Amino acid sequence: MRIGTLGNGLMAEALAGQWVKAGHEVMIGGRDRERAAEVAERIVAAAGSSGEAGSSGEARSLADAGSRVEAGSLADAGLRVGAGSLVEAAAYGEVVLLAVPAEVAVEVAGLVPAGRTVIDCTNALDHRDFTLAHPETAEAIAQAVPGVQVVKAFNLAADAVWRNPPAGLGVPICGDGGVNVVADLVRDLGCVPVAAGGLVRAKLLEATAALAIGIWVGGGNVRGMFPPLADAFGTVLPGES
Ligand SMILES: NC(=O)c1ccc[n+]([C@@H]2O[C@H](COP(=O)([O-])OP(=O)(O)OC[C@H]3O[C@@H](n4cnc5c(N)ncnc54)[C@H](OP(=O)(O)O)[C@@H]3O)[C@@H](O)[C@H]2O)c1
């Protein structure tokens, strides 16, 4: 699958790195081509050093091409990762990861052509008190950008988690369309998609992230808040063990 990223920061590198290893073709999109190209090169180097299937040859070819990799040359050159502008990455991806600050999410998502799936991993977190600076980002994107399928996912865990996700990590997904393809991208990380409802529930996922991150930063045990149901009811649900 072709995946574009809007943003070349921590989340884009972490998630795109996993999807490249899983065999997808990725274009890192950034405001600054050189920064985007550096991220693409790091992803290829990391995929090569981890010995992922088929990555070493491509790592060499990307390194040779360096930051001169052009948007249109990805498929022709057989490369699995390259870099481009935000507009180019938005046009490239069948699925587009929106990984920019939440305050510019709607504006940047406006670059995505109709018919694509946008993964919104943003958190509008106000780091002063761990509240939401503005609510309902995913729904706002869906309202503002016609014809795209917005899926909220990957916003609960830190980029460091996505760089090395624990097997079986549950990843809640909210969306009305495009959820199956995002679920497959979750599985590509060795994680488990958790159907968390339609896009109307994305605001709950955004609030959950703010609450959990605030507790976590305050030294609380977020995992301990959700013990297996078996502990309470003596019942084991599918997916629990
Ligand atoms: N990091 C985490 O652990 C984590 C976890 C869950 C969710 N999130 C959410 O994921 C999103 C991305 O986080 P991140 O950690 O990857 O951030 P980051 O490392 O700071 O990267 C942000 C990216 O957004 C770009 N950007 C900033 N302002 C922009 C604008 N006005 N127009 C276009 N692009 C712009 C930056 O471009 P330049 O390089 O040109 O500055 C950069 O590529 C945020 O909404 C964050 O809340 C982060």
Residue 23's pLDDT is 92
Tokens matching residue 47: 């995929």
The b-or-e profile of 192-201 (16+ CB within 10 A means b, else e) is: ebbebbebeb
- Strands (DSSP E) contained in the chain are 2-6, 25-30, 81-85, 95-98, 117-120, 125-126, 131-132, 149-152, 170-175, 192-195
Most informative mutation of 8, 10, 122 for ligand 1 (most atoms within 8 A of CB): 10
Architecture of domain 2-217: 3-Layer(aba) Sandwich (3.40)
Residue 34's pLDDT is 95
105 Cα to the center of ligand 1, angstroms: 10
Maximal C-alpha separation, the chain: 59
8 Cα to the center of ligand 1, angstroms: 7
CB 132 within 8 A of CB 210: yes
6 Cα to the center of ligand 1, angstroms: 9
Q: Kindly report the length of the chain.
A: 241
Closest listed residue to residue 15, CA positions, set 161, 168, 180: 161
Q: At what angle do helices 33-49 and 55-65 cross, to 10 degrees?
A: 150
pTM assigned to the model: 0.90
217 Cα to the center of ligand 1, angstroms: 19
Distance CA 72, CA 151 (A): 26
Atom of ligand 1 nearest to the CA of 158: 3
Return the residue whose CA atom lies nearest to atom 36 of ligand 1.
7
Residue 165's pLDDT is 96
Atom of ligand 1 nearest to the CA of 105: 45
Instruction: List, in order, residues 6 or more apart from 166 with CB less than 8 Å away.
Output: none
Residue 79's pLDDT is 54
Instruction: List, in order, residues 6 or more apart from 235 with CB less than 8 Å away.
Output: 229
Residue 121 Cβ contacting ligand 1 at under 6 Å: yes
Residue by residue, pLDDT tens for the chain (241 residues) are: 999 999 999 999 999 999 999 999 999 999 999 999 999 999 988 887 665 534 333 433 344 443 344 444 454 445 589 999 999 999 999 999 999 999 999 999 999 999 999 999 999 999 999 999 987 999 999 999 999 999 999 999 999 999 999 999 999 999 999 999 999 999 999 999 999 999 999 999 999 999 999 999 999 999 888 877 777 777 766 666 5
Strands 149-152 and 81-85: unpaired
Distance CA 25, CA 98 (A): 16
Residue 228's pLDDT is 77
Distance CA 83, CA 72 (A): 10
Distance CA 91, CA 3 (A): 10
